[in-house]
A = this chain, B = another copy of it.
Amino acid sequence: MVHVTNAPPARRPLAINLANSPRAAQCDDCGARHAGLCDALSDEDLTFLARAAQRRTYQAGEPIMQEGDKAAYFFNINSGHVRLSKSLPDGRRQITGFASTGHFLGLAKSDKNVCSAEAMEPTTVCRFNRPSLMAVFEEFPALERKLLDVATHELVLAQEQMLLLGRKTAIERVATFLLAWAAREDLCPAGHLPKPNAALQLPLSRTDLADYLGLTIETVSRSLSQLKRDGFIDIPGIHGITLLKPQGLAHIAEAEL
Interface of A with B (CB < 8 Å)? 3-6, 84, 86-90, 92-94, 96, 107-110, 114-115, 141, 144-145, 147-149, 151-156, 158-163, 165-168, 211, 213-214, 254-257
A88 pairs with B256, CB closer than 8 A:
yes
Copies of this chain held together in the complex: 2
Selected from B92, B107, B149, B167, the residue in CB contact (under 8 A) with A167 is B92
Shortest Cβ distance from A99 into chain B, in angstroms? 13
B255 pairs with A108, CB closer than 8 A:
no
Question: Which residues in B have their C-beta under 8 angstroms from that of A154?
Answer: 155
Shortest Cβ distance from A206 into chain B, in angstroms? 16
Across the interface, name the chain B residue whose C-beta is closest to A4: B4
Question: Which residues in B have their C-beta under 8 angstroms from that of A160?
Answer: 86
Q: List 21 A-B contacts (CB under 8 A).
A: A86-B159, A88-B163, A88-B168, A89-B254, A89-B255, A90-B255, A92-B255, A94-B166, A96-B158, A108-B152, A109-B149, A114-B159, A115-B159, A141-B141, A144-B145, A147-B148, A151-B152, A158-B159, A162-B162, A162-B165, A166-B211
Question: Which residues in B have their C-beta under 8 angstroms from that of A90?
Answer: 255-256
Cα–Cα distance between A155 and B254 once the two chains are bound (Å): 24
- Pairs of residues from A and B, 10 with the lowest C-beta to C-beta distance, nearest first: A166-B214, A89-B256, A158-B158, A165-B165, A151-B151, A94-B163, A6-B6, A94-B166, A92-B167, A96-B159
A165 pairs with B256, CB closer than 8 A:
no
Given A4-B4, A107-B152, A153-B109 in contact, is the A166-B165 Cβ separation under 8 Å?
A: yes
Shortest Cβ distance from A69 into chain B, in angstroms? 15
B256 pairs with A156, CB closer than 8 A:
no
